A and B are shown apart, each in its own frame.
Chain A
């Protein structure tokens, strides 16, 4: 593994189903983030974690939950998917949560909720 990996690459999901998007990084970064990217809206922060064991809500957290049991993994769960959650989801990480630290992005998961 080099950098950040996400799984699955793409998924079609029936509305009402539960889904977990996986994210793993091997850079020993403390901070991790989940974004969704929709056409015309840019990247929007869903949840974040400044360090293992802590999480926080971003701009659009409703309908999503996260956990950070260790440094490497940061899964995003949709408890009961709705069509408005159709989007491309990017996981990112940075060495620390401070201002000057660039974020490294995973390849993304394309999710379609029908």
Chain B
């Protein structure tokens, strides 16, 4: 089975940095995705990691350690529009995604 854990909620101040952790135990590993989902909307793709290390994309970065079954999403220079849920998803051997329950980030002024 798949087990993907991420914190339920996080709160941060506008302009700050927030790190969302994701740990996973899955049957096989073919990469890890991060998606952003605003309330009442569809998830949208943020990042994909398949090799260890840090992938930077503007204000957002994603890190992966396969040996530790661990990833994080780093959001820098937080803006009010970053208030959303962030979903960690692991691609397993059958190329299907298993999602964590999501982390709701609230950005306060």
Q: How far is the CA of A43 from the CA of B85 in the complex (A)?
A: 12
Q: Is the CB of B42 within 8 A of A42?
A: no
**Residues of A bordering B, CB below 8 Å:** 35, 40-45, 48, 58-59, 90, 97-100, 102-108
The one of B48, B50, B101 in contact with A102, judged by C-beta atoms closer than 8 angstroms, is B48
Q: Is the CB of B42 within 8 A of A90?
A: yes
**Residues of B bordering A, CB below 8 Å:** 4, 30-31, 33, 41-45, 48, 50, 87, 89, 91, 95-102
Number of A-B residue pairs, CB cutoff 8 Å, is 48
Q: How far is the CA of A21 from the CA of B71 in the complex (A)?
A: 34
Q: When A99-B30, A99-B31 are in contact, do A42 and B97 touch as well, CB less than 8 Å? A: no
A and B contact pairs by CB, cutoff 8 A, 7 listed: A41-B101, A43-B99, A90-B42, A99-B30, A99-B91, A102-B48, A105-B44
